[in-house]
Every structure is written in C-alpha cells, then in structure tokens.
Amino acid sequence: MPTLPQAIKLYKGLSIYRVKGSPFWYVRIWDRRSKKYVVKSTGEESSLMARDVAQDLALSLLKKEKVVEPEYTFKHFALKMLHTMQREAQLGNKSAGYVRSLLWAVQNEDWGLHAYFGDKDVRTLKTASFQEYLAELAAKRPDITSSTKNTLMAAFRNVLKVARDEGVIDIVPSTPRAKQRDNPRPFFRFHPLVNKEDDAYKKLLAEAKVMAGEGITVRGVPVTDELYDIVMFVTHSFVRPITTELYAIKHSDVVIADDPKRLVVTVRDGKTGFRSANTMPAAVAVYDRIRQRHEGYEPDDYIFFPQYKNRMTASKVVQRQFHTLMERAGVEVDQATGRKLTMYSLRHTAICMRIILSHGKVNIFNLAKNAGTSVDQIERFYARFLPLSKEMALNLQSFGGQEEP
C-alpha cells in the first residue's frame, strides 16, 4: 500500500495534507479570531490544485478577520491614556494610587483590558462589548468584586475618552457602575456618640500637639503644628485629603467672609469637578495661623506644605505623619465598624459631625453641595448608619404633635 505524503507547509498557519481513506487533500488554516485551526477538504486530488484552493480559503478567512489598522486599535489608545496618566501623576495632578489601579486594569496578563480588547477596533466597541467582557471575566473569576468591576469600567472609559478627544469616535459608550454594598464609612467617633474619654477625634488632636511639641520626626521630616492644622482644616472644610483638593488649594483659592464667619474655598479640579464651598468658623482660625506661619506668601503658593512643588510628595509626607499620629493616639480602627481608619476618615468625620452636632437640623442638600457629593451618597453611607439620639428625637417632635385623647 503506497505511503501517504506528509503535510506540506505552504506558509505559517497554512498547510495541506492527506488522510487515510480519502483521495482528497485537506487544508489546515490558523484562524486568528477563534485562535484555533480550521480544517476543510480541498476537494482536489492533485497537490498543485490543492495548494491553490488552500490559498483561496486562507484569503477568504483573512478578509473575514478585518485586520484593524494599528492606529484604531484599543491598545493604541490604551498606551496613550496610560502615558498621559503617568505624566499627570508625576506632576502631582493625579493620585499615584489611582494611576496604578488603571495600569493594573489595563495590563493584567490574565484578564486585563489589553488582553481582551487589545487588537479590537475602538470604532466598533459598544456598551455590550464591555458587558460581554465582564460576563467572561465573571465566569473565570466568580469572586470578582463590584469595586474591581468599577475600576475596570473607569479604565475602559478613560481609554475611549482618548479616542473621542482625537475624533476617532463621537461618544463614549455608557457603562453603568456595578452596584456596591452600602457599607458605613469609618470615622473618628466623637462625643456625644461616645463617652468623652473615648472621643477618638479629640485624642487625635491632642496627640498632634504632643508630636509637634516633642519635635517628632517621621521619615526625616519633623512634625510641626501644620499637621494639627490639616486635621482641623479637613474636618471643618469638608475637602477631600487628595492631591486635587486639599493639596491643590492655593491662597488665591481662599476668601475670608463674614456674616457668618467662614472661608469660601474654591476647589478647581476635585473628584466631582469645580466647586466653591463654605467652611465652618474654626477653619478661619486655621487659615490665620497658616498665613502667619508662611509670612510673605504669594497668591499662587499652596496653603499646606508649600515647600513641596510636587503635590504628590506633599501628600505622602502628610500621609506618613498622619499614620504615625493614629498609631500614637491609639485610634487606628473605628471600633463601631471594625474598619481601619485613614486620613480620608477625617472627611467622613466632618460630614457625620454636621449631622450629629446640628441635632439633625442641617440641610442635607447644602451639606452635600459643600462637600462635593450628593444627597444620595450622604444618605447611603453616613446618615442611615448613625445611631438615633435624644437631639434627633427632639428635632422630630419640635413641630408639635397630638396627645392621646
């Protein structure tokens, strides 16, 4: 019985071969879309004729693939986005942690955006494209959290925003955020929510004064009264302790106002965009000390740690000092929730203080506007988890009621 000829390789990913029991040559083609081989009969007994059929089939498959020009691929715009974000982080305009999360979302080798969307044409991507990606990811990783999904969504949108800004696409497809559990925000518990001796906020302030008085240094940087003033400022101004809010405030962004006594602070590029916010009266005294501390300041100087032109550096210095402050004060964990406290918890403390210390009379819309958030956020993450108090009961009953007849 004659021996069947071996497979004939025409070029990479394309070959013809014979099989037992058939007079015809078969073609084996690598399909880049499905990432597997396609096998078909050429219907030809001659190897020369089979070659022609094989090449025609390969060309037909290639046309179906619609190979995307590099300048329209997702990975092209992803690289541009990451480059821009990294530059912004170096300038102190973006949080390094946020940029790291974008890098991770795009470049994760197993299931990152680059691995899934890399060679796809951004002009064809729709809302359904991202939903299909999340469905496949959920099948691979059933434990994936809503927070991770939202990080991937943010990265996906940031990439397509670059394509939109360059005129390649008209709009960025909508990508609804994944629903997250409404966990209470940890904050520094204060009197009257706790006994005076357990007031975590007062402990924090007292220890900040001690550290400055003792000349404590953290990573070679001395702790001064500026740390105390930052704690006071955040809890009386509602600004977020991030590079685009607290550390971006310049003297030209602050106006001292009367009736009532307050600061009007302009946040130019905060988490929720531009806003002007009223502070509590205590922030005025803080700003007076800042001006005395940095006598001869210019309007364009930053109000906190102006010696650091890179605002990410200023943020890191304060973060380290604040972490040491919490350790020394013994207030690293919110005892009510069991969650770790951070510098961001000062903002949560500020919002909770207004709700509790106003005896429930604060206008939630006004509070939300000043804090650069929404009424929904305050109700979901703050108000609904606060305990009922005597003051709230009095406020509830202050408009009269009917006695039992």
In order, the DSSP letters of 91-132 are TTSS-HHHHHHHHHHHH-TTT-HHHHHTTSBGGG--HHHHHH
Q: What is the CATH number of the domain that holds 349?
A: 1.10.443.10
Q: Are 92 and 146 within one domain?
A: yes
DSSP structure class, residue 74: H
Q: Are 262 and 388 within one domain?
A: yes
User: Across residues 63-68, what is the average pLDDT?
Assistant: 60
Average pLDDT score, the chain:
85
Q: Are 216 and 342 within one domain?
A: yes
Q: Is the dihedral of CA 31, 33, 36, 38 positive or negative?
A: negative
Residue 145, pLDDT > 80, answer: no
What one-letter code names the amino acid at 99?
V
Tokens for 200?
């975590």
Q: How many whole angstroms separate alpha carbon 100 and alpha carbon 382?
A: 28
Q: How many domains does the chain have?
A: 3
The set of residues, in sequence order, having a beta carbon less than 8 Å from that of 52 and lying 6+ positions away, is none
Q: Are 279 and 323 within one domain?
A: yes
Q: Are 126 and 258 within one domain?
A: no
pLDDT tier at 397 (50, 70, 90 boundaries)? low
Residue 316, pLDDT > 90, answer: yes
Q: Are 229 and 344 within one domain?
A: yes
What is the model's pLDDT at position 64? Answer: 62
pLDDT tier at 288 (50, 70, 90 boundaries)? very high
Q: What is the pLDDT of residues 90-100, one digit of tens each?
A: 887 887 778 88
Q: Are 362 and 339 within one domain?
A: yes
**Residue 291: CB atoms within 10 Å:** 14
Q: Are 206 and 132 within one domain?
A: no
Asked whether residue 156 is domain-assigned, the answer is: yes
Tokens for 360?
């429930």
Q: At what angle do helices 311-329 and 225-237 cross, to 10 degrees?
A: 100
Cis peptide before 306, with omega less than 30 degrees from 0? no
User: Across residues 50-67, what is the average pLDDT?
Assistant: 75
Asked whether residue 280 is domain-assigned, the answer is: yes
Residue 69, pLDDT > 80, answer: no
Q: Are 30 and 143 within one domain?
A: no
pLDDT tier at 1 (50, 70, 90 boundaries)? very low
Asked whether residue 176 is domain-assigned, the answer is: no
Q: Are 130 and 264 within one domain?
A: no
Q: What is the pLDDT of residues 213-270, one digit of tens each?
A: 999 999 999 999 999 999 999 999 999 998 889 999 999 999 999 989 999 999 987 7
Q: How many whole angstroms separate alpha carbon 113 and alpha carbon 107?
A: 7
Q: Are 94 and 61 within one domain?
A: no
Q: Are 243 and 336 within one domain?
A: yes
What is the model's pLDDT at position 388? Answer: 59
The set of residues, in sequence order, having a beta carbon less than 8 Å from that of 250 and lying 6+ positions away, is 299, 300, 301, 302, 303
Asked whether residue 189 is domain-assigned, the answer is: no
Tokens for 103?
């890098």
Worst-scoring range by mean pLDDT, 89-93, 203-207, 278-282, 310-314?
Answer: 89-93
Tabulate helix, strand, coil % of the chain (nearest 5).
50, 15, 40
pTM of the model: 0.60
Residue 374, pLDDT > 90, answer: no
Question: Do residues 380 and 368 lie in contact, with contact meaning Cβ atoms separated by under 8 Å?
Answer: no
Q: Is the dihedral of CA 200, 326, 269, 114 positive or negative?
A: negative
User: Across residues 80-102, what is the average pLDDT?
Assistant: 85
Residue 340, pLDDT > 50, answer: yes
Residue 382, pLDDT > 80, answer: no
Asked whether residue 186 is domain-assigned, the answer is: no
Asked whether residue 402 is domain-assigned, the answer is: no
Query: Which position has the higher pLDDT, 273 or 319?
Result: 319
Q: Range of 262's domain?
A: 196-395
